[in-house]
Amino acid sequence: MTEESILNEIESNKEEYINFLQRLIQINTYNPPGNEEDLAVEIEKYLKEVDIECEIFPFGDNRANLIASLNDNFDGPNLLYNGHMDTVPPSSLDDWKYDPLSGFIKRNKIMYGRGTTDMKSGLAGMIIALKILKKLNINLSGNLILNAVADEEVGGKLGTKWCLDIKIKSIRCDFGIVGESTGYSPLPKAIIVGEKGILQVKVVTNGVACHSSISFQGKNAIYMMSEIIQNLDKIKIPEVAPPMPESKLLKLLSSAFPNEEIFNRIYNEQPQLESIVKSLLQSTKSMNIIKGGVKENVVPDYCESIIDFRLLPGQKPEVIINALKKLITDIGYKTKDSPKGDPNEVFVYLEIFSIAEPSYWKDWEDSQEIKDFFNLVEKIYGKKPIYFLFPGTTDAQYYRNSNFCQKVINFGPGNAATMHAINENLEIQDFINAIKVYTLWAYNFLK
Ligand SMILES: [Zn+2]
């Protein structure tokens, strides 16, 4: 078996792969509620064609995770592929050019639908890679493990985290790929080696209600929140060095361009690109939800908001919580960890709404594997990829932060700009290329 014959196999079965992806798009896994079991059953059916047994772990109402592997030997080397089966809902259906559950293909080039980019194409590519290796009956020394998960779009606790804790942790993992889209047009494909974390904090100001004709008798909870908003920029979050300084990030980006001059021109024309770089150099915060007030003539005793903090690798969520408490205390309000208080008690209640720790594969530059992966992507896509960091969060954090495996990257087909957006779409060629990368990578890694 050679790389050439694997590529020939892929070229001659493209139609089958595209149809398979289309079927995955047509299965509704909008989360909430998820319904990932329907998709798991479809994956099982597809892998059964080459006698790969899937383990399906159902939970809740029609939800499930799935694990499959090339063989029964887990002595290593082991390669882990992870992809999530759920998608975000489609938002306003009227705005879609094509039904988000159609997988409509335009001019044989672009597939439309919810999940085409995020991330049924990446997941399908991984499933197909597993199928090809089994079908071609290649003699490999290690194992390829596929984990198709539920729940990623709402944090992954019931998906990747559950599978890791219950099933995957006992397996040695030598390298992992989470197949989220890493296409950031106009940049070439990215290989993501780290990501920021999330800490969303619910802040509730508790004041004292009264008739607003004698407003000084009460304590207005909306005004309390307003004081917090006005002082939010004074929060003292201990600095940590970003995983890569600005010069390094720019160097990684510019490596994709023929020369510095062309890169500078494109960089200056792309304010979004500059914003991404900026977000990778610091923690950020944004208050995104605020609710308060019951009636036009009642001084409100309750106002709540959610602040979305994004953390750099090395920043602990507790540190941010403490800094927020200190800020609120300095403004002059008592903070509490319980929402309960006397009717006349003035205080601020803090609650963690959502959390995902940042993660970073520190030694990625010393790894021969990642250089080999880079070369493979360049060969298949005909263009040098870039190494980069991700300002958002993915399930890769569970692998890195649990010390299960540091060598985890994100790499996947699709155009990240269309993720979660109306008219989400995918270039078919990108999907085929990703199948080639996933398959050849497993072949070379396990050979
Ligand atoms: Zn995703």
Q: Give the single-character DSSP code of 232.
A: G
Going from the Cα of 226 to the center of ligand 1, the distance in angstroms, rounded, reads 35
Q: What is the pLDDT of residues 37-75, one digit of tens each?
A: 999 999 999 999 999 999 999 999 999 999 999 999 999
321 CA distance to ligand 1 centroid (A)? Answer: 27
Tell me how far apart the alpha carbons of residues 302 and 63 are, in angstroms, rounded to a whole number: 37
Residue (of 22, 138, 142) closest to 78 by Cα position = 142
Rounded distance from Cα 252 to ligand 1 centre (Å): 24
Choice among 137-146, 255-264, 388-397 with the minimum mean pLDDT: 255-264
**Which pTM was predicted?**
0.93
Residue 14: pLDDT band (50, 70, 90) is very high
Given this model, what pLDDT does residue 440 score? 98
Q: Point out which residues pair with 110 in neighbouring strands.
A: 106, 427
Query: Which domains, from first to last, does the chain contain?
Result: 3-195+359-446 (3.40.630.10), 197-242+282-356 (3.30.70.360)
**Ligand 1 center from residue 180 Cα (angstroms):** 5
Q: Specify the residue for token string 């010069």.
A: 247
- Dist. CA 123 → ligand 1 center (Å): 10
Separation of 118 CA from ligand 1 center, angstroms? 5
Q: How far is the CA of 85 from the centre of ligand 1 (A)?
A: 9
Chain centroid to Cα 348, Å, comes to: 32
Distance 153 CA to ligand 1 centre (A): 7
Contact 127, 43 (CB under 8 A): yes
Residue 421's pLDDT band, with cuts at 50, 70 and 90, is very high
Q: What share of the chain is helix, strand, coil (3-state, %, to 5)?
A: 40, 25, 35
Average pLDDT, integer, range 113-131 = 98
Q: What is the pLDDT of residue 62?
A: 98
Q: How far is the CA of 328 from the centre of ligand 1 (A)?
A: 35
pLDDT at 116: 98
Q: What are the Cα distances from residue 150, in Å, to 35, 66, 73, 87, 88?
A: 9, 9, 25, 9, 12
How confident is residue 395, by pLDDT bands cut at 50, 70 and 90?
A: very high
Q: What is the pLDDT of residue 187?
A: 86
pLDDT at 272: 85
What is the CA(9)–ligand 1 centre distance, in A?
A: 28
How is 136-175 classified by DSSP, letter by letter? Answer: TT---SSEEEEEEES-GGGTSIIIIIHHIIIIITTS--SE
How far apart are the CA of 292 and the centre of ligand 1, in A?
33
pLDDT of residue 88: 97
Give residue 83 CA to ligand 1 midpoint distance, Å.
8
Distance, in Å, from the CA atom of 383 to the CA atom of 377, rounded to the nearest integer, reads: 8
Q: How far is the CA of 384 from the centre of ligand 1 (A)?
A: 24
Q: Strand order in 302-311's β-sheet? A: 284-292, 302-311, 197-206, 347-356, 335-336
* pLDDT range class, residue 296, cuts 50, 70, 90: very high
Q: What are the distances in angstroms from CA 347 to CA 233, 258, 338, 341, 344? A: 21, 58, 10, 8, 10
**pLDDT attached to residue 368:** 97
Cβ within 8 Å of residue 176, ≥6 positions away = 79, 80, 81, 82, 396, 399, 405, 407, 408, 409
Q: How far is the CA of 222 from the centre of ligand 1 (A)?
A: 36
Average of pLDDT values for 71-98? 95
Cα of 122 to ligand 1 centre, how many Å? 9
Strands 143-149 and 78-84: parallel
Q: Measured in angstroms, how far is the CA atom of residue 304 from the centroid of ligand 1?
A: 29
Predicted pLDDT of residue 364 = 97
Residue 29: name the closest of 64, 73, 70 by CA.
64
